[in-house]
């Protein structure tokens, strides 16, 4: 595929390639100079939890989560003893 560099130095990754690999706006990519006139573009690894909050908020079943009743809190944890 062919693309052009814009005057501010931006390169557009063709839509067909973005769709093929599921690359979305805002994703980070690394670019490496391989040699004279040759470059390698690699997608950065996404955090495993990326999108988890949005996924949970999109759950069609509301109020499904009920916190457990607790008889202890972290307030009861004392400072470690030294000595």
pLDDT in tens, 12-41: 889 999 899 888 888 889 999 999 999 999
Of the candidates 26, 56, 57, which has an alpha carbon nearest to the alpha carbon of residue 43?
26
Q: What is the domain range of residue 10?
A: 1-65
Look at residue 77 and tell me if it is in a domain. no
Within-domain flag for 60:
yes
* pLDDT (0 to 100) of residue 83: 65
Number of domains in the chain: 1
| pLDDT at position 63 | 75
Residue 46, in any domain of the structure: yes
Half-sphere exposure of 9 (CA within 13 A, CB side): 0
From first CA to last CA, the distance across the chain in angstroms is 68
Regarding predicted confidence, which is higher, 44 or 46?
44
Retrieve residue 49's tokens: 């939890």
Kindly state whether residue 30 falls inside one of the protein's structural domains. yes
CATH number at residue 51: 2.10.260
Task: Judge contact between 11 and 2, C-beta under 8 A.
Answer: no
Judged by DSSP in three states, 30 sits in: strand
Residue 80 lies in a domain: no
Pair of tokens at residue 68: 């457990």
The predicted model scores a pTM of 0.48
């Amino acid at each position: 595929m062919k693309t052009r560099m814009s005057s501010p130095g931006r390169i557009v990754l063709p839509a067909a390639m973005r769709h093929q690999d599921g690359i979305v706006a805002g994703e980070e990519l690394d670019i490496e100079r391989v040699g004279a006139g040759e470059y390698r573009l690699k997608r950065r690894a996404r955090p495993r939890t990326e999108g988890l909050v949005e996924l949970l908020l999109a759950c069609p079943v509301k109020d499904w989560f009920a916190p457990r009743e607790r008889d202890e809190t972290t307030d009861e944890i004392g400072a470690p003893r030294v000595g």
